[in-house]
Amino acid sequence: MQLFVEQLINGWALGSLYALFGIGFGLVFSTLGILNAAHGTYASWAAIAGYYAVDRFGVPFPVAVAAGVVGGGLLAVVVDQIGFQPLRAKKTGMLGALITSIAFWIILDSLAGFATGQQSLAFPATSYPNQMVVLGPLRVPQMQIITILALLVCTVGIYLLIQKTRIGAAMRAVGWNEVAAALGGVNARMVILLTAFLAGATSGLAGVLGGISTSNVSFTLGEGLMLKGFAAVVVGGYDDVRGTAIAGICLGVIEVFVAQYISTSFRDGFTYLLLLAFLIARPRGLFGSANFVRA
Amino acid sequence: METLLDLWAGYGSTVTFASVNAFFALSTYAVLSTGVLSFTTVVFAAVGGFLSAQMAGKFGVPLWAAFPMAALGGGFAAAVVAGAFLRLESHWMALASLALVLITRVTALNTPLLTGGVNGLIVPLRVEPLELALLLALCALVFWRLHRSWYGLAARAVREDAAVASTMGISPYRVQFAAFLISGVVGGLGGAALAFTLQFISPETYFIGIAFTMIASTVLGGSFHWLGPIVGAAVFTALPTAMQAIVPQIEDVAKGVVLLLIMIFLPRGLIDPRAWGLRRAARLREENERRQQAAERDAHA
């Protein structure tokens, strides 16, 4: 029983990382209509930024996380302005942006390889809270609790931002139809910049936290998050952050349980099977709105 | 002659891989030309590749028989995929096909009896570059005929606007289904070509890398004409080699930057029939104006 609960918390923390990353990925997909292959590199670079902040300047843990988050957000804005903005006027649709995002993926991945010296770096053990919290018979690492809380705060925050504020209404309007939103008095350019920053920052947070708790700061970090985050977005429904959060947690828990109780070789297979089943049986995901149409 | 042979020794493999990638790009183009963005070519390639490799390895099937088998296998896989996926809307379609690529790798890893699993398969046959070029030429011929046929016209109509096409009596479902079958056959051929070129395949061979190479090749070359994917595959395959010769330290970065620049400045690709048409129209207009001016001058005189 104790093992079961411990694994449940492990899976929850792992799934929280997937969900955090997926929220950023889904925001870009639903608001900007871009299938962004470069999104994983934001997480890698955020982790690298956090690592160097600690390594070079010896900053405390919250500052390192903030450095990663801001770094991820700024990178997303730069990529958007160089890679996607010139294509918006040319109406190349999803395909053109997909290609430029592949280009950025290649560029940023290989630069990340240089930045880490082609190896996997780990945060020094003293730079983050690495104690165990004792809850009755359970011992839970502090980082897992931080990750779980981070997802909770981000999900509630972004959900309220999108559903209850004027900025959120503007973001939904741009996601529906950019031209119509602009006619309605929305500054589409600002909304796009804000969405890109928010998406990069959320995925960056996933990158830093994931880099710390898996002791893996390299370009492979982003790739791993990308595949699972993508699954979380699709299963949850990409136009609702609640769905992504729940789906991400479920995927993490399922992954850990399949590895624990069935076989490690089926770990990824089960996730993707679930993904395919959802795509065919219920393509709009857990929470996706039924009438979602992109013109 | 000596220099020519040296050149072949240096860049022969680039040419071979360019033709292999051309198959993948053509397969992507086949569905893209009916307005469907699908990554499933990788799946068809995996089916074709593993099928032909096993046929050659276990049953001693010769090369000329292994390719048609790969094509059939790819086509069959395409029929299954099309049946399941064509109900989905375009965005979901792209996501679903990407998911299927991920699943294919996991499946291939866990069925060692069919695919060799983690250890992969050694392929005992080898395809000559000339044979590959002939096969590619044959495919191009088919695509050329299709482009000018009723099917080509229907495909373009469905791509531009499926609703309008269906009011004209074209069934988008049937056209897209046919496109998937073509994509499956060509993708299966490409998978076999890759297997007989590398002579070693594993589940990692048919993964995201191919998906992005083929999409980039297709869009780079132009997705509005069958020549586009072939040209695009050649450029995209030659890019790393060229970059390695110029800037060996940062070849990947340079490759990405070139891809980015081409996409920003030529979003419709290198081969763009509309640009040709526009240029021809502009030239005609100029000629007409000149003729008119000359006629006016004659009238005044």
Residue B210 CB-half CA count within 13 A = 34
Task: Indicate the average pLDDT of chain A.
Answer: 87
Over residues B128-179, the pLDDT tens digits come to: 888 999 999 999 999 999 999 999 999 999 998 888 999 999 999 999 999 9
Q: Are residues B218 and B285 in the same domain?
A: no
Over residues B205-244, the pLDDT tens digits come to: 888 788 878 888 888 888 888 999 999 999 888 887 877 7
Quick check: B217 and B24 in contact, CB under 8 A? yes
Closest CA to B28 of B286, B236, B241: B236
Q: Are residues B25 and B149 in the same domain?
A: yes
With CA atoms as reference, the chain B residue closest to A293 would be B89
Interface-testing mutation among B37, B40, B102, with chain A (most A C-beta atoms within 10 A)? B102
Q: Are residues B177 and B211 in the same domain?
A: yes
The residues spanned by each domain of chain A are 2-281
Interface-testing mutation among A34, A107, A227, with chain B (most B C-beta atoms within 10 A)? A107
Over residues A7-66, the pLDDT tens digits come to: 899 999 999 999 999 999 989 988 888 888 899 999 999 999 999 999 888 888 899 999
Q: What is the Cα–Cα distance from B50 to B52, expressed in whole angstroms?
A: 6
Structural domain that includes position B25: 14-267
Does any domain span residue B245?
yes
Nearest by CB: B96 against A95, A107, A279: A279
- For B150, the token pair is 């009723």
The residue that leads in pLDDT, B116 or B226, is B226
ipTM: 0.79
Does any domain span residue B9?
no
Q: Are residues B261 and B276 in the same domain?
A: no
Quick check: A269 and A254 in contact, CB under 8 A? no
Does any domain span residue B294?
yes
Does any domain span residue B195?
yes
Q: State whether residue A239 is helix, strand or coil.
A: coil
Q: What is the Cα–Cα distance from B71 to A151, expressed in whole angstroms?
A: 47
Cut 0.80: pTM above it: yes
pLDDT band (50, 70, 90) for residue A247 = very high
Q: What is the Cα–Cα distance from B244 to B250, expressed in whole angstroms?
A: 8
Q: What is the pLDDT of residue B1?
A: 65
Closest CA to B98 of A80, A39, A42, A84: A39
Q: Are residues B168 and B296 in the same domain?
A: no
Q: Kindly determine whether residue A87 and residue B92, on different chains, have CB atoms separated by under 8 Å.
A: no
- Please check whether the domain covering A2-281 is classified as CATH 1.10.540: no
Q: Which amino acid would we find at residue B165?
A: A
Does any domain span residue B5?
no
Q: Which of A115-119, B20-24, B188-192 has the lowest mean pLDDT?
A: A115-119
Q: Are residues B186 and B301 in the same domain?
A: no
Chain A CB contacts of B107 under 8 Å are: 269
What angle is formed at CA B162 by the lines to CA B159 and CA B165, rounded to 5 degrees?
100
Q: What is the pLDDT of residue A1?
A: 79
Over residues B48-78, the pLDDT tens digits come to: 999 999 999 888 888 889 999 999 999 999 9
Q: Are residues B138 and B100 in the same domain?
A: yes
Q: Are residues B94 and B130 in the same domain?
A: yes
Q: Please state the domain count of chain B.
A: 2
The Cα of B266 is separated from the nearest Cα of chain A by a number of Å equal to 10
Q: What is the pLDDT of residue A78?
A: 95
Does any domain span residue B3?
no
If contacts are CB pairs under 8 Å, which of residues 28-57 in chain B contact chain A?
Answer: 32, 37
Q: Are residues B111 and B254 in the same domain?
A: yes
Q: Are residues B296 and B167 in the same domain?
A: no
Nearest by CB: B267 against A94, A96, A106: A96
Does any domain span residue B7?
no
The Cα of B179 is separated from the nearest Cα of chain A by a number of Å equal to 18
Q: What is the pLDDT of residue A89?
A: 77
Q: Are residues B151 and B297 in the same domain?
A: no
Q: What is the pLDDT of residue A209?
A: 93
Q: What is the CATH number of the domain that holds B259?
A: 1.10.3470
Q: Are residues B260 and B281 in the same domain?
A: no
**Beta strand ranges found along B100-153 (DSSP E):** 121-122
Closest CA to B172 of B151, B190, B194, B199: B151
